[in-house]
């Protein structure tokens, strides 16, 4: 029998062993499934990766950013196949008291939250940019972040009457349309300074910025777009003129990051174009076939619809702006500045590019006639680009829209006491 | 009536964590003088020749100079003078002890008797007897007649206090189930065998698939977002009992308790609520179940060989449509494919164990083979277990015990749908009209395509879903008594397993959407470790007062790593992931928990017992701001019948005990990393970026917290023949972890926060009675009864919500039972008549259905939580050879959502008999099409009574068994789930497609019914 074992020694060993096991107990275990806030925001690689993720979020946002205004403004209609989440939007053709959109509607929240997720990622970059030491990468990331934030505010303010623009605190205050557009334009001006002040690094342009995404010209285009929305016509004209002809800028998609409209339009077949798009078109307009087909899917509540013809492939990119938009911004700015003859030249550039003959100064003799034609060209050139609701607002045609403003999401109202009362929905 | 004198002090049994009855190695409290280094050590003394004596005695603690010797001998009998085997006789405060043999005789050698020595006799089910030894030398004959203890109040339990305590001293109930009750239950799964054995524990077997899962809910649900299964401990090792659903095969996911062999179980202790389980801190909200496996005993080598042959079949089938025409009026043939899906399946279960040892070392070695075919064709389950439990006394005051077991199991399963999959044998039986001919082409072997999903016969023949487990559970325990009355105990527990689940849908399968095949392989590697230190010190400051101080710490680490790989577009005739499209995902989870506790137990006059304890817990899963959590408990037990004034009522009630317990416990967050703000993958085109997760981290996240009050009484009447344990419990759980909305303009959408509250309160009743006792037979009856009223009292700002993956029918709302059913309803008039869209009754004056029901709004339509459950167990012993046993289990007041019936009578499939009515024209065309949208129709009363167990055991006469060289042999005929009495119309009201999910309960969707089984078992002891 072992006689050399000392019980007290063993007892001490037991206690010591237990203490050692627990002393090595680190209660801060890293999560290998996901990057942590500290790790991401504390490294240049993390900030750079957010730059890529931010563009992914932009692409995601365009889903509701385009189809919600398109539904509200009567470009798109729901088919009978529509999911329950968008059911309230289906009622738009009959605007009655009981068809009001509720705060709890999923799309009301999605459009709102996806834009603020862009703002969050942009702020992550702006607030932690000091980690990025390569000047050309730093400048590019800053410009991208500010541009994205401006797009988020610009998109939001067309659908909601007031929006928060400073989201550093937990209960952000709300500002009106003018302040939101001012903020968007000042972000864009700052972004332009970043993008032009330092030559962008090839690391940024080659590995962060998505292929097809023209950063500087998108900044210029958005300056033109939001200047027009803000009523700064001379600025809008100048900015639109900065965008060289032929330039495009897109958000690309791939098999792992699919164009959302491919499924919405062709997989689930949730949407169709309101048939007025085709029936009101001028003969020979190539945009009719570009955007729609002669198919007639059954619309919800008996609405007459046509099939859609864009974004058939999941890798189809979504444009951030088009040359037609720039031309029509020039036309509209000129017209509103009473330079009608120059405006008609711009109108005809668009008409000719889309298979239509030029209009003469005789045909567009008055300012209202010119503006009318510009609205008409915008309707066809910028179909399903998310801008039609904004156009109705600017051209005083809001009565044609189903809803003027969306209510604020319930989740915002429930948690943010600054949320204003919902504006009247019926235009 | 054995009463405790004031001199008694209960000495915690220091050298083992099993109950006193499990060992006859007695407590050792050597006088300090004998325990010094040098030649006086007992070990050295033994070297000088006392070794043979020590074979009978446990270690001797007597002074080395003692010369006198006393032999005590006699028999221990029950009240009818029958010898009791296995009774322990221990000289209190020394290490001297023995056990009685099969005829109840004993002989105890006391090497150095002193005056004042007390001999204690204990046997499970009987009250202990204490006898002062008057004579100090020579041979004394002392017989004992033990009085039964129907309430088992003197039984020693360890789980609640982490030290040995007699049940009578505890303020909160601790239930015990004996190993033979588990082994004789006729099931390969321990938890299934627990059904009906314990009040306050609702045991529900989710699936009749071999190795399928079982859920145990103790005192109702204590959570919404976490697993609601209790904490399981095996011989001090915290084991994993998760039900990780690696692949959804239709409510099959087994819980990992399925890996243990029921034949190894000695007994199980169940600590029900916070009032008792506070020492387990943040892991105790759902109760604690500690399983003790058998250990070796000193003496000759004993071996037990058990073999059981079982036959399983399906008890109830659904009636199928026999209409000769289809909806279009065309003539069709109809089939009942149940005969091609179900079968009568054999099970062979074999186990062999050896145990033995000397007074220093003992062992228990066992091996078991389980080979079971499922009642669904082409399913089976095979399990191999090996266990070695070793006990070794290094010195008188230092003991090491190990428990090791290795388990391998392999199951071949057949998919059966589930909440996220539409493919399965029973699933596609429901989804295919029974007018389709589904048999394979006799020449090509091809199975015809079924209606929409897959051909069930093809699934049975060609789809494979093998599941395999390799598991090791090991525990090491060191117990030391460095000074008198101080016991130190250290435990290291380790549980590790690799579980692999696979599913192969071959290329060219009959499922249109899986025509190019699908292969999935998911592997979960789990590792759990616990390291515990417990210290207890007993003090008797005055003869009437006993204090037990307890201190301890507990460290746990658990890690899970799940990798799921998938291949599509499979190569023909391959059995691994050979496909042109491959993908893989991984999920990793790891947490650590560190706890400390202090406990004080006070005993006054052996009549009043008070316990107070405080546990603190820190876990990596808690937010930084809430790292430390505290769990106090208080308990009081008053043994009123021990007071002298009770004499006048003793004829009325021989025992009356009042008890109260109050305590807190916790429930850890489900995800170890839920507290963290994470950045997640976000692709842009072909590039991968990251963005903040829209679920914000919460560094204030803390465990869910239960506060429980339990009040109860234990009473013995009819001169100790009837005992009742009555308990009221009220459990209030707050800080339930639920998603909470975050202001979306911050860029987040939600966080997990401690926002919800729910309550459970109910009554538990346990009655044990010796219903009849005659010289030739004894009938013992046990009744358990439990009621519970669960209610959610608070949710987060979002209010009511539907549970994901519940077909949007399982819902949580304040003021209602958690997980109630919410769905479309009938529209009725004031007299209850079902109305059609025009507001007219669908029935005409004669009661015939002539209209089509209108679909009404969604409302609360049912509740799967039972109002109560009960069991009735009778054991009849006839003579000394026959034992008859039966158990009825009843559950009432629970609803089942019979999705099966909805599919069976849906015109699109129409396999059920009900649909014949529309084909015959008894109901208008379109009646069933409309009715299928009214979910209220498919809520059925799921109350049932099952004849859970019925067995007859014959013990062969010793002489007869002896001819084969055996000590004894028993032959048993065991029936399980032989009959169900229920109004429920489906296969089985007990099963659940949600398996062990916390809130998807009572949901019938192609779940495999629990088989009816009959087994013949032979047990031989050598």
The pLDDT, as a whole number, for residue B865 is: 94
Q: Which residues of B touch A124 (CB under 8 A)?
A: 692
B478 contacts chain A (CB < 8 A): yes
Quote the CA–CA distance of B214 and B840 in Å, as a whole number.
46
Least confident among A342-356, B58-72, B269-283, B743-757: B58-72
For residue A394, give how far its alpha carbon lies from the nearest alpha carbon of chain B (Å).
26
In this structure, how many other beta carbons lie within 10 angstroms of the beta carbon of residue B394? 18
* N-to-C CA span, chain B: 37
* A293 token code pair: 């087909």
Tokens 């909160």 identify what position? B172
Averaged pLDDT, B334-340: 95
Return the biggest CA–CA distance within chain A: 120
* pLDDT at residue B91 in the model: 80
d(CA A83, CA A173): 33
Taking the C-alpha atoms of residue B359 and residue B53, their distance in angstroms, rounded to an integer, is: 10
- Give the separation between CA B540 and CA B545, rounded to whole angstroms: 6
Closest partner CB to B747 (pick from A34, A46, A119): A119
Distance CA(B140)–CA(A126), nearest Å, equals 93
User: What residues in A contact B478, CB-CB < 8 Å?
Assistant: 10, 14
Q: What span, in angstroms and rounded, lies between the C-alpha atoms of A67 and A75?
A: 9
Q: Are strands B288-293 and B231-234 parallel, antiparallel or unpaired?
A: parallel
Q: Which two tokens stand for residue B485?
A: 């009355």
Contact status of B44 with chain A (Cβ, < 8 Å): yes
Position A89 scores a pLDDT of: 57
Token pair of B319, please? 């009636």
- Chain A residues touching B684 at Cβ < 8 A: 52-56, 58-59, 210, 251-252, 257
Residue range B225-235: mean pLDDT, rounded:
92
Exposure pattern of B700-709 as b/e (b: 16+ CB <10 Å)?
Answer: ebbbbbbbbb
Q: Is B689 on the interface with A (CB under 8 A)?
A: yes
What is the distance in angstroms between the Cα of B684 and the nearest Cα belonging to chain A?
4
Residues of A in contact with B555 (CB under 8 A): 18, 21-22, 25
- Residue range B737-750: mean pLDDT, rounded: 90
Residue B814 has pLDDT above 90, yes or no: yes
Are A22 and B742 within 8 A, CB to CB? no
pLDDT band for position B70 (cuts 50, 70, 90): confident
Chain A environment of B682 (Cβ under 8 Å)? 52-53, 56-57
First to last CA, chain A: 97
CA–CA dist B35, B397 (Å, integer): 9
Residues B961-974 have a mean pLDDT of 86
The residue ranges of chain A whose pLDDT is under 50 are 1-3, 82, 84-85, 87, 90-98
Q: What's the ipTM?
A: 0.91
The shortest C-alpha distance from A111 to chain B (Å) reads 11
DSSP three-state, residue B730: strand
Phi/psi of residue A54, each to 5°? -60, -40
The shortest C-alpha distance from A203 to chain B (Å) reads 13
DSSP state of A262: I
For A211-224, write each residue's pLDDT tens digit. Answer: 999 999 999 999 99
Q: Contact A256/B690, CB-based, under 8 Å?
A: no
Q: Given an 8 Å threshold on Cβ–Cβ distance, is A116 in contact with B747? A: yes
Do the beta carbons of residue B597 and residue B550 sit within 8 Å?
Answer: yes
Using the 8-state DSSP alphabet, how is residue B938 labeled?
G
- Which residue from A minimizes the CA distance to B742? A415
Q: Is B692 on the interface with A (CB under 8 A)?
A: yes
Range with top average pLDDT, B120-124, B791-795, B967-971: B791-795
pLDDT at B645 > cutoff 50: yes
pTM: 0.86
Shortest CA distance from A48: residue in chain B: B689
B747 touches chain A (CB under 8 A): yes
Q: A53, A207, A317, A419: best mutation site toward chain B, by most B Cβ within 10 Å?
A: A53
One DSSP character per residue, B86-155 reads: T-EEEETTSS-EEE--TTSEEEEEESS--TT-EEEEE-TTB--EEEE----SEEEE--EEPPB-TT-TT-
The C-alpha atoms of residue B338 and residue B341 are separated, in whole angstroms, by 5
Contact B688 A52 (CB under 8 A): yes
Q: Residue A55 is nearest to which of B43, B46, B684, comparing CB atoms?
A: B684
Query: Which is it for strands B944-955 and B868-878: parallel, antiparallel or unpaired?
Result: unpaired
Q: How close, in Å, is residue A19 to chain B by CA atoms? A: 9
Distance from CA of A72 to the nearest CA of B (A): 22
SS3 assignment, position B258: helix
Q: Which residues pair with B587 in a beta bridge?
A: B562
Predicted confidence at residue B801, as pLDDT, reads: 85
pLDDT of residue A4: 56
Exposure of B715 by Cβ count < 10 A (0-12 exposed, 13-18 middle, 19+ buried)? Answer: buried
Residue with more model confidence, A83 or B739: B739
DSSP B265-328: EEEEEEE-SHHHHGGGGGG-TT-EEEEEE----SEEEEEEEEEEEEEEE-S--PPBP--SB-TT
Q: Across the interface, do B618 and A27 touch by the CB < 8 Å criterion?
A: yes
- pLDDT at residue B707 greater than cutoff 60: yes
CB–CB of B44 and A50 under 8 A?
A: no
Write out chain B residues lying below 8 Å of A39, CB-based: 679
Greater model confidence, B432 or B53: B432
From A29, A116, A211, residue closest to B745, measured CB to CB: A116
Residue of B nearest to A10 (CA): B480
Q: Does B135 touch chain A (CB under 8 A)?
A: no
Give the pLDDT band of residue B58 (cuts 50, 70, 90).
very low
Please give the structure tokens belonging to residue B800: 């009511």
Exposed e or buried b per residue across A289-312, where buried means at least 16 C-beta atoms within 10 angstroms of its C-beta: eebbeeeebebbeebbbbbbbbbe
Q: Tell me if B691 and A26 make a contact (CB, 8 A cut-off).
A: no
Let me know: does B490 contact A18? Beta carbons within 8 Å: yes
CA distance A25 to chain B (A): 7
pLDDT per position as a tens digit, B896-953: 999 999 999 999 899 999 999 999 999 999 999 999 989 999 999 999 999 999 999 9
Q: Are B687 and B755 in contact (CB under 8 A)?
A: no
B525 touches chain A (CB under 8 A): no
B586 in contact with chain A, both atoms CB, cutoff 8 A: yes
The pair of structure tokens assigned to B724 is 């009742």
Q: How many A×B Cβ pairs under 8 Å?
A: 223
Q: Per-residue pLDDT tens for B354-390?
A: 998 887 899 999 999 999 999 999 999 999 999 999 9
Report yes or no: B808 at the A interface, CB cutoff 8 Å: no
Minimal-distance CA residue of chain A relative to B559: A29
The position carrying tokens 């009050």 is: B709
Disruptive mutation site among B53, B535, B690, B699 for chain A (greatest number of A CBs within 10 Å): B690
B483 to chain A: which residues are within 8 Å by CB? Answer: 8
Touching A: B residues 622-641, CB under 8 Å: 627
Give the chain A residue nearest B487 (alpha carbons).
A11
Using an 8 Å CB-CB cutoff, list chain A residues near B394.
2, 5, 10
C-beta separation of B666 from B705 below 8 A: yes
A334 CA to chain B: closest CA distance, Å?
37
Question: By the 8 A CB rule, do B312 and B1008 touch?
Answer: no
Q: Is B672 on the interface with A (CB under 8 A)?
A: yes
Q: Rounded to an integer, what distance in angstroms lies between the CA atom of residue B209 and that of residue B413?
A: 8
pLDDT at B53: 34
Question: Which among B688, B745, B748 has CB closest to A416?
Answer: B745
Give the count of alpha carbons within 13 A of B382, CB side only: 3
**Residues near B1010 by beta carbon (within 8 Å), at least 6 away in sequence:** B205, B207, B208, B315, B977, B988, B990, B991
Chain B residues with beta carbon closer than 8 angstroms to that of A59: 684-685
Residue of A nearest to B489 (CA): A14
CB contact under 8 A, B627 and A17: no
Q: How many CB atoms lie within 10 A of CB B109?
A: 15
Q: Specify whether the CB–CB gap between B395 and B43 falls below 8 A.
A: yes
């Amino acid at each position: 029998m072992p006689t050399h074992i000392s019980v007290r020694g063993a007892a001490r060993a037991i206690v010591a062993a237990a203490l050692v096991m627990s002393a090595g107990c680190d209660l801060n275990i890293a999560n290998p499934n996901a990057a942590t806030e500290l790790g991401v925001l504390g490294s240049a690689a993390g900030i750079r990766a957010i730059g890529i993720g931010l563009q992914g979020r932009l692409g995601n946002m365009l889903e509701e950013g385009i189809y919600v205004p398109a539904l509200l403004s009567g470009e798109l209609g729901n088919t009978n196949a529509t999911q329950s989440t968008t059911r309230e939007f289906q009622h738009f053709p009959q605007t009655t008291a009981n068809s009001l959109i509720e705060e709890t509607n999923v799309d009301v929240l999605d459009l709102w939250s996806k834009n603020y997720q862009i703002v969050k990622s942009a702020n992550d970059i702006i607030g932690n940019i000091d980690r990025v030491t390569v000047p050309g990468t730093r400048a590019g990331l800053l410009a991208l972040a500010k541009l994205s934030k401006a797009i988020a505010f610009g998109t939001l303010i067309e659908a909601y009457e007031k929006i928060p623009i400073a989201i550093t605190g937990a209960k952000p205050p709300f500002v009106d349309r003018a302040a939101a557009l001012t903020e968007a334009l000042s972000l864009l001006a700052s972004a332009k300074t970043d993008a032009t002040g330092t030559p962008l690094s090839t690391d940024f342009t080659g590995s962060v910025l998505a292929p097809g995404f023209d950063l500087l010209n998108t900044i210029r285009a958005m300056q033109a777009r939001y200047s027009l929305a803000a009523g700064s016509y001379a600025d809008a004209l100048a900015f639109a003129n900065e965008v060289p002809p032929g330039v495009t800028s897109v958000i690309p998609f791939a098999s792992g990051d699919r164009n959302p409209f491919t499924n919405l339009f062709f997989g689930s077949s949730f949407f169709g174009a309101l048939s007025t798009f085709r029936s009101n078109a001028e003969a020979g307009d190539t945009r009719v076939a570009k955007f729609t087909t002669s198919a007639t899917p059954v619309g919800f509540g008996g609405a007459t619809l046509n099939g859609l013809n864009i974004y058939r492939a999941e890798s189809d990119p979504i444009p951030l702006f088009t040359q037609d938009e720039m031309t029509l911004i020039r036309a509209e700015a000129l017209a509103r500045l009473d330079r009608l003859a120059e405006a008609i030249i711009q109108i005809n550039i668009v008409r000719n590019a889309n298979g239509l003959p030029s209009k003469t100064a005789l045909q567009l003799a008055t300012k209202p006639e010119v503006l009318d034609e510009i609205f008409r060209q915008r309707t066809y050139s910028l179909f399903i680009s998310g801008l039609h609701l904004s156009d109705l607002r600017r051209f005083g045609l809001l009565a044609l829209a189903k809803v003027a403003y969306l209510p604020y999401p319930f989740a915002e109202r429930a948690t943010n006491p600054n949320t204003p009362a919902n504006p009247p929905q019926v235009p | 009536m054995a009463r405790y004198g004031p001199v008694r002090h209960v000495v915690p049994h220091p050298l083992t964590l099993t109950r006193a009855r499990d060992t006859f190695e007695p407590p050792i409290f050597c006088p300090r003088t004998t325990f010094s280094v040098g030649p006086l050590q007992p070990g050295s003394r033994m070297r000088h020749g006392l070794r043979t004596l020590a074979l009978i005695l446990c270690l001797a603690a007597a002074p080395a100079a003692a010369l006198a010797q006393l032999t005590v001998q006699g028999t221990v009998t029950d009240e009818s003078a029958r010898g009791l085997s296995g009774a322990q006789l221990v000289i209190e405060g020394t290490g001297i002890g023995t056990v009685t043999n099969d005829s109840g005789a004993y002989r105890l050698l006391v090497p150095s008797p002193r005056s004042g020595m007390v001999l204690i006799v204990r046997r499970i089910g009987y009250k202990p007897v204490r006898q002062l030894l008057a004579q100090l030398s020579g041979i004394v004959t002392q017989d004992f007649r033990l009085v039964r203890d129907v309430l088992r109040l003197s039984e020693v339990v360890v789980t609640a206090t982490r030290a040995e305590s007699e049940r009578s001293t505890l303020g909160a109930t601790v239930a015990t189930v004996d190993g033979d009750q588990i082994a004789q239950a006729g099931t390969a799964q321990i938890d299934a065998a627990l059904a009906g054995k314990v009040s306050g524990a609702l045991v529900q077997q989710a699936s009749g698939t071999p190795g399928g899962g079982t859920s145990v809910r103790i005192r109702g649900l204590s959570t919404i977002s976490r697993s609601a299964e209790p904490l399981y401990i095996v011989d001090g090792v915290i084991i994993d009992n998760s039900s990780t659903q690696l692949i959804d095969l239709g409510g099959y996911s087994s819980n990992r308790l399925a890996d243990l062999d029921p034949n190894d179980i000695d007994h199980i202790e169940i600590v029900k609520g916070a009032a008792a389980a506070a020492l387990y801190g943040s892991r105790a909200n759902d109760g604690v179940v500690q399983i003790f496996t058998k250990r070796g005993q000193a003496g000759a080598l004993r071996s037990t060989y058990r073999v059981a042959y079982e036959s399983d079949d399906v008890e109830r089938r659904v009636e199928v449509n026999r209409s000769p025409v289809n909806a279009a009026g065309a003539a069709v043939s109809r089939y009942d494919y149940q005969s091609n899906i179900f079968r009568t399946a054999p099970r062979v279960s074999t186990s062999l164990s050896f145990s033995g040892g000397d007074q220093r070392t003992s062992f228990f070695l066992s091996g078991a083979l389980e080979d079971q075919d499922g009642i669904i064709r082409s399913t089976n389950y095979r399990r191999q277990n090996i266990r070695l439990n070793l006990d070794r006394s290094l010195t008188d005051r230092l003991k090491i015990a190990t428990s090791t077991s290795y388990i391998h199991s392999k199951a071949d399963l057949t998919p059966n749908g589930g909440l996220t999959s539409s493919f399965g044998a029973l699933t596609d039986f429901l989804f295919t009209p029974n007018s389709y001919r589904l048999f394979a082409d006799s020449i090509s072997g091809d199975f015809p395509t079924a209606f929409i999903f897959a051909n069930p016969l093809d699934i049975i023949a060609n789809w494979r879903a093998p599941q395999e487990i390799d598991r090791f559970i090991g525990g090491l325990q060191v117990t030391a008594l460095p000074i008198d009355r101080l016991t130190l105990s250290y435990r290291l527990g380790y549980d590790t397993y690799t579980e692999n689940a696979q599913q192969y849908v071959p290329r060219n399968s009959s499922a249109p959407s899986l025509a190019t095949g699908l292969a999935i392989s998911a592997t979960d590697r789990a590792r759990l470790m616990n390291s515990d230190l417990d210290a207890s010190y007993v003090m008797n400051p005055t003869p009437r007062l006993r204090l037990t101080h307890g201190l301890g710490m507990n460290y746990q680490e658990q890690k899970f790593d799940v990798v799921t790989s998938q291949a599509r577009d499979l190569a023909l005739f391959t059995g691994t992931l050979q496909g042109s499209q491959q993908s893989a995902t991984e999920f990793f989870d790891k947490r650590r928990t560190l706890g400390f506790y202090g406990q004080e137990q006070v005993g006054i006059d052996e009549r009043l017992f008070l316990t107070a304890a405080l546990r603190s817990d820190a876990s990596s899963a808690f937010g930084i701001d809430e790292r430390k959590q505290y769990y106090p408990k208080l308990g009081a037990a008053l043994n009123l019948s021990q007071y002298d004034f009770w004499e006048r009522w003793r004829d009325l009630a021989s025992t009356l005990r009042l008890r109260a317990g109050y305590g807190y416990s916790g429930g850890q967050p489900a995800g170890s990393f839920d507290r963290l703000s994470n950045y997640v993958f976000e692709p842009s085109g072909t590039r991968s970026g990251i963005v903040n997760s829209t679920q914000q981290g919460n560094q204030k996240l803390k465990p869910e917290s239960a506060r429980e009050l339990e009040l109860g009484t234990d009473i013995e009447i009819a001169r100790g023949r009837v005992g009742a344990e009555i308990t009221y419990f009220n459990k209030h759980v707050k800080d339930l972890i639920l998603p909470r909305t975050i202001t979306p303009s911050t860029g987040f959408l939600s966080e997990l926060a401690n926002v919800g509250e729910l309550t459970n309160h109910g009554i538990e009743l346990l009655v044990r009675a010796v219903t009849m006792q005659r010289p030739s037979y004894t009938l013992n009856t046990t009744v358990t009864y439990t009621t519970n009223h669960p209610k959610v009292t608070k949710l987060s700002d979002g209010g009511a919500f539907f549970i994901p993956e519940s077909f949007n029918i399982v819902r949580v709302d304040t003021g209602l039972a958690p997980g109630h059913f919410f769905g479309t309803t009938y529209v009725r008039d004031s007299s209850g008549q079902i109305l059609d869209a025009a507001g007219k009754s669908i029935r005409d004056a004669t009661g015939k259905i002539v209209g089509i029901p209108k679909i009404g709004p969604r409302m609360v339509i049912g509740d799967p939580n039972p109002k109560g459950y009960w069991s009735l167990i009778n054991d009849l012993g006839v003579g000394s050879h026959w034992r008859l046993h039966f158990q009825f289990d009843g559950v009432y007041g629970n609803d089942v959502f019979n999705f099966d019936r909805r599919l069976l009578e849906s015109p699109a499939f129409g396999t059920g008999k009900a649909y014949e009515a529309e084909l015959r024209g008894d109901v208008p065309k379109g009646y069933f099409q409309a009715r299928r949208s009214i979910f209220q129709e498919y809520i059925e009363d799921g109350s049932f009574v099952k004849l859970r167990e019925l067995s007859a055991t014959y013990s062969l006469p010793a002489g007869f068994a002896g001819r084969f060289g055996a000590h004894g042999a028993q032959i048993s005929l065991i029936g399980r789930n032989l009959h169900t009495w229920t109004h429920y119309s489906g296969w089985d009201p007990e099963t659940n497609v949600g398996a062990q999910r916390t809130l998807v309960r009572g949901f019938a969707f192609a779940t495999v019914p629990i088989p009816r089984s009959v087994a013949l078992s032979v047990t031989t002891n050598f």
